[in-house]
Amino acid sequence: MNALDLWIKETHQDSVALSFKVENTLFSGKSPFQQVDIVKTRDHGAMLLNDGIIMVSERDEFVYHEMISHVPLSVHPAPSRVLVIGGGDGGTVREVVKHDSISRVVMVEIDEMVVNACREHMPSVSHALKDPRVELIIGDGVKYVATTDETFDVVLIDSTDPIGPAAPLFDRQFYQNVAGILTEDGIMISQAESPFYDFKIQSAMLANQRPFFNRLHLYTFTNLTYPGGLWSFGFGANALCPLTDFDPNRIRASGIQTRYYTPEIHASAFMLPKFVQENLSDMLDPLPSLDKAFIK
């Protein structure tokens, strides 16, 4: 008898499907917040799914986690205190702690089952959660930013899509509270979905961020395991520009090892495709063209 022909399938907006060949299930559980599964795929390593939506795969997670972290940490002049909202797999924290200037990372993840499953079955992604600079809080990021008396240089919103417990992470009140705990040079990065499929979510997110940030930008990256491949992050700040305040030599001299992020990728990520510019032109602030940007 042939071995079972097993595939994992994610459908998006009931019109697109993404499938990956599966060898076996490593973890499957129902938390108070979502179904949590980790499968071993044939060609993409271990893969985490929350409620059947692909979160990370070992094969490509470095792209997302390098781009959410090294962009703001290379623009802020001296990043020391970072807040991660969500990020249960630990990949974002792994990239943040590569920066020697970091003294403290607080990660607020609502679902302990995600953290424990990734600790056991995706150690290549979650291993830095053990870093002594990291404080893991199992809790709601919405409540945390509303009640903490700490301030942060960078806040990374590494959330699921705006459904279930993640929905309030796209609300105006949440962004107002994030702006209130950022330091003067503070930067907020938000998971900003697909420029192809999620224009409505992007424009609502940017409209909710607008009152609290002088600067709003979007940058893109490629994601092998997300619908449509092209994905994005929002960059919100009051003072710093992601291009003119970016010193490429700092990250070059840092010795930080990456597999996707480079200073050139940093700059080009903010050069948006024409259709994205046209969609969001009245929501985003202007940036200098590349020839006037930082690359010396």
How many angstroms separate the CA atoms of 58 and 62, rounded? 8
Residue 41 vs 159, nearer CB to ligand SAM: 159
> In the complex, what is the shortest distance from the CB of residue 79 to ligand SAM, in angstroms, rounded to a whole number?
19
Beta strands in 101-214 (DSSP E): 104-109, 134-138, 152-158, 182-191
Chain residues 253-292 in contact with ligand SAM, contact rule CB under 6 A: none
Report how far apart, in Å, the C-alpha atoms of 248 and of each of 76, 92, 254 are. Answer: 12, 21, 10
> In the complex, what is the shortest distance from the CB of residue 239 to ligand SAM, in angstroms, rounded to a whole number?
27
> In the complex, what is the shortest distance from the CB of residue 214 to ligand SAM, in angstroms, rounded to a whole number?
26
Question: Does residue 185 have an active-site annotation?
Answer: no
How many angstroms separate the CA atoms of 108 and 86, rounded? 6
Residue 165 vs 248, nearer CB to ligand SAM: 165
Place of tokens 């990065």: 189
Using the rule CB under 6 A, is 53 a contact of ligand SAM?
A: no
> In the complex, what is the shortest distance from the CB of residue 288 to ligand SAM, in angstroms, rounded to a whole number?
29
How many angstroms separate the CA atoms of 217 and 288, rounded? 12
How many angstroms separate the CA atoms of 252 and 151, rounded? 28
The encoded tokens of residue 25 equal 């299930």
201-183-62 Cα angle (round to 5) = 55
Chain residues 128-187 in contact with ligand SAM, contact rule CB under 6 A: 140-142, 158-160, 165-166, 169
The encoded tokens of residue 145 equal 């930013």
Residue 88 vs 236, nearer CB to ligand SAM: 88
Chain residues 78-137 in contact with ligand SAM, contact rule CB under 6 A: 85-89, 91-92, 108-111, 114
| Choice among 111, 158, 161, 198 that is catalytic | 158
Using the rule CB under 6 A, is 64 a contact of ligand SAM?
A: yes
How many angstroms separate the CA atoms of 196 and 276, rounded? 8
Phi, psi of 157 (to 5 degrees): -95, 90
Selected from 61, 153, 161, 198, the binder of ligand SAM by CB under 6 A is 61
Number of residues that bind ligand SAM (CB under 6 A): 27
Provide the angle, in degrees to the nearest 10, between the axes of the packed helices 172-180 and 199-209: 50
Per-residue binding string, ligand SAM, 9-38, x by CB under 6 A, is: ------------------------x-----
Catalytic residue numbers?
158
Residues lying near ligand SAM in the complex (CB under 6 A): 33, 50, 55-56, 61, 64, 85-89, 91-92, 108-111, 114, 140-142, 158-160, 165-166, 169
